[in-house]
Amino acid sequence: MNLGKIPVSEWGPREVEAFIRLLRGEDEEEDARPAAGAGRCPECGGFLIPAGGCRACPACGWEACGW
């Protein structure tokens, strides 16, 4: 599952569970990993993921577009 192609605001239970597996290191699919250089969230320090042309933090919901 490529989480970067689905906006965080549109994640359902399946996407949330996939992200939790990813954070735990249980998901080894290459395309499921956050893009290198996506960065860290300025609000909570969580890892950012690409989401529909934006960067988003699944932990707290912070988003930035136009980067």
Residues 37, 3: Cα–Cα separation, whole Å: 16
- Closest C-alpha among 30, 41, 33 to residue 64: 41
Low-confidence ranges of the chain (pLDDT < 50): 30, 32
Q: Looking at residue 60, what is its pLDDT?
A: 92
- Give how far Cα 2 sits from Cα of 38, 43, 65, 67, Å: 14, 24, 19, 20
Residues 47, 37: Cα–Cα separation, whole Å: 10
- Closest C-alpha among 48, 64, 52 to residue 7: 52
